[in-house]
Chain A
């Protein structure tokens, strides 16, 4: 009861504040639990055996993963492990994948993923890759959309809290990164109170258009603000990327108060073509920095890490014209560029208006030097000189905007839990609809490209109490699907998401599904420990290491009886799945293994490392129901005491008479 009261009081005060700020009467439906008509079901019903129209990629927040859903059905398709280990497939456990999670801080098997970004060609989704950030220990990952697996991770030096990331440019030339937490650059031991003198923000451009070759092309040294979200321009604004900032007060403690003082913070407009010129002219300084670049080779079925030792850093003072600040009310979160590339919509989460900047006005203001002042070599443009208009009283807590390609923007409003639709040229709100509850980002398929598909909108809500069967204090997050094809937005579906999705991207299924790999061709397997035929399976001892070159096929392992292993040995089970048939992985697990089990896809090789601790005979078995005789797919490995002289012996079927 107490909880309920608190909720009501909280709700009431929010509404009172809402009424004061916006003048809107409290909306009844905002606190009601359902507003879905029965006809909605037919709009999202995808019969069994039929496929969805869109792939939707949700970030997993604190679980460090990406979850793939189909839309409009809301059916889950896959969980992609990115910055997290996976005891199911062995990702992060096997020697082949451990290098993927190496960083300058060591092996980091977790992170906080926020913003998926689909690669683009000419400002449209091309369905090649999905990028996603690691917020905590700054990294950017590439997921290959032919396999839906993580294939590359690069660490970003000099940055803390890689939040405005990895938004990309219109031909995927770059994906960007920025500091949420400004820190001393380079890192060093200084009093926190010296924030203003010593702390810096850093914006990075990561070369992204070649798989296996991601690289921090250059970094730009920015004032010590908190950089929050980003979006790169398209069409006329191609060549520019925009970053919101808050804490322009440069507070370092009790930010909830101390960073909410300024009436206006900034959107940083960064001209990356100009930066490229300056870098080419040698104006960037090589700064020592240690960071990792990890790449998974799909033919070798093996990841490698390389350690990089320096990074190019550009000081805006040395490169005039590389960055400008656009004053923007008040603690902006989202910064979103309209599909025509002209309007830049800020989401001032404490603001009572939504500011809409004009890119062409910005260029004119730069030309006319309409500057208010300069901060660390970066001119601050006059607000009125760049503003297209202020959308009055839109809602409470506007966060993030996407576009439908028909002249409308849609902004999520966290505090008032709603989505508002507005005409961004005419600067007026045309529709609003409640969300349940506390919406963060929202998504329109292609809503950040030149050609939004404009059919659906998905709201990602932070709080889902009373929307599902209770399962204890923690609930999944909710995704709400709206039909935006008509004049009025209509809630038509609700489903629940894993982790805490911050943002999502969606792409028509047709752009991906025919390119998806079904197997790894065995003939192309270049794993150094692969065995491609049962006759080549074998066991070899190298000192204290025992290497088992094992094959798996329905429904047996070769070898399936192994003797001659001793306590103190490290056993490497190198498993090659000889299948060449879609959806026939085999699993492998051995009793007492401290590592994961592994799932080996058709044509793939993976290694499970096992250190037996006591003599005995240990079973191993297939963990993935592969065939009618799956349960028979098993074997034994005999472990003798240390120093014993049991000879090495292995077979499947008839035991060999002559022992090796």
Chain B
């Protein structure tokens, strides 16, 4: 790894520290009765509401359609995620220190795989909540599931539900992107040089 790539990898790893301080994802519900919206933020280790009471009120509304209450304490992912991110930070910093090219590749691949797994898990989570409804729910609409979109906006009954990454998510994306840039630079600066030598 050249010095530039090592620096970028270190920067990418350090950036991840910020994800402990910003929400990764944001789900927002807007309805005629909720013009101000109800918001839910997903962090590496917790779920919070837009206001002190949003989560409480989202659960209160969800009970009409028989959706399981969202209880952050009961979600195992929130307990694991801080360690996964911690591992990525440590792994990235160590790799940058050791400067081995294979470690850079390994870091980026691990990160990518974890990201895909995370999104898949998030989709599964949304699917579970949206489909696994209490059969005794007061409001039942045949054929309608209440799964929020993975990314995007969708009308669910009276609610306009939107789901987008938040600051922490963008930071993660940036960190991964830096990893890719580090690889590209590494190829350009080492491999590219060799290519120039050959014709000469």
Contacts and interface: CB of A to CB of B under 8 A. Distances in A.
Interface string B51-66: 0110011001000100
Contact of B64 (A580, A581, A628): A628
Contacts of A521: 52
Interface string A552-573: 0111000000000000000000
B85 to A, nearest CB: 31
B144 interface: no
A581 B60 contact: yes
A521 B52 CA distance: 10
B115 to A, nearest CB: 35
A580 B53 contact: yes
B74 interface: no
A554 B60 contact: yes
A627 B57 CA distance: 13
Contacts of B57: 580-581
Interface string B34-73: 0000000000000000001100110010001000000000
Contacts of A627: 64
Contacts of A265: none
Chain A CB count within 10 A is highest, among B57, B60, B64, B138, for: B60
Contacts of B139: 628
A519 B53 CA distance: 10
Contacts of B64: 627-629
Contact of B138 (A579, A580, A581, A629): A629
Interface string A605-636: 00000000000000000000001110010000
A632 B57 CA distance: 20
Contacts of A579: 60
B22 to A, nearest CB: 25
A629 B63 CA distance: 12
B71 to A, nearest CB: 14
Interface in A516-563: 519, 521, 553-555
A632 B53 CA distance: 25
A580 B49 CA distance: 13
A140 B139 CA distance: 51
Contact of B56 (A580, A628, A632): A580
Interface in A576-590: 579-581
B139 to A, nearest CB: 7
A554 B56 CA distance: 12
Contacts of A628: 64, 138-139
Nearest to B38: A581
Contacts of A581: 53, 57, 60
Given A519-B53, A581-B53, A553 B60 contact: yes
A628 B52 CA distance: 24
A390 B138 CA distance: 75
B199 to A, nearest CB: 72
Contacts of A554: 60
A19 to B, nearest CB: 59
A629 B64 CA distance: 9
Contacts of B53: 519, 580-581
Interface string A508-520: 0000000000010
B104 to A, nearest CB: 49
Nearest to B158: A628
Chain B CB count within 10 A is highest, among A521, A553, A581, for: A581
A555 B139 CA distance: 13
A227 B138 CA distance: 64
Nearest to A554: B60
B1 to A, nearest CB: 53
Interface in A623-657: 627-629, 632
A579 B33 CA distance: 15
A627 B53 CA distance: 18
Interface string B138-150: 1100000000000
Nearest to A519: B53
B36 to A, nearest CB: 9
Contacts of B52: 521, 580
A519 B57 CA distance: 13
A260 to B, nearest CB: 59
Nearest to A603: B53
B40 to A, nearest CB: 15
Nearest to A627: B64
Contacts of A629: 64, 138
A628 B56 CA distance: 18
A480 to B, nearest CB: 34
A637 B53 CA distance: 32
A148 B139 CA distance: 36
A580 B51 CA distance: 11
Interface string B92-131: 0000000000000000000000000000000000000000
Contacts of B60: 553-554, 579, 581
B140 to A, nearest CB: 13
Nearest to B138: A629
B42 to A, nearest CB: 21
B189 to A, nearest CB: 57
A603 to B, nearest CB: 10
A466 B138 CA distance: 53
A579 B60 CA distance: 9
A554 B57 CA distance: 10
B79 to A, nearest CB: 25
B53 to A, nearest CB: 4
Interface in A182-232: none
B50 to A, nearest CB: 13
B119 to A, nearest CB: 32
Nearest to B136: A653
A215 B52 CA distance: 37
Chain B CB count within 10 A is highest, among A553, A580, A632, for: A580
A632 B139 CA distance: 13
Nearest to A628: B64
Interface in A479-527: 519, 521
A334 B131 CA distance: 71
Nearest to A629: B138
A467 to B, nearest CB: 37
Nearest to B63: A554
A610 B52 CA distance: 36
A368 B40 CA distance: 74
Contacts of A555: 138
A649 to B, nearest CB: 23
A325 B139 CA distance: 74
Nearest to B56: A580
B38 to A, nearest CB: 9
Contacts of A580: 52-53, 56-57
Contacts of A519: 53
A581 B51 CA distance: 10
Chain A CB count within 10 A is highest, among B53, B57, B139, for: B53
A632 B52 CA distance: 29
Interface of B: 52-53, 56-57, 60, 64, 138-139
20 contacts: A519-B53, A521-B52, A553-B60, A554-B60, A555-B138, A579-B60, A580-B52, A580-B53, A580-B56, A580-B57, A581-B53, A581-B57, A581-B60, A627-B64, A628-B64, A628-B138, A628-B139, A629-B64, A629-B138, A632-B138
4 pairs of A and B residues whose beta carbons are closest in the complex: A580-B53, A581-B57, A580-B56, A629-B138
Given A519-B53, A632-B138, 17 more contacts: A521-B52, A553-B60, A554-B60, A555-B138, A579-B60, A580-B52, A580-B53, A580-B56, A580-B57, A581-B53, A581-B57, A581-B60, A627-B64, A628-B64, A628-B139, A629-B64, A629-B138
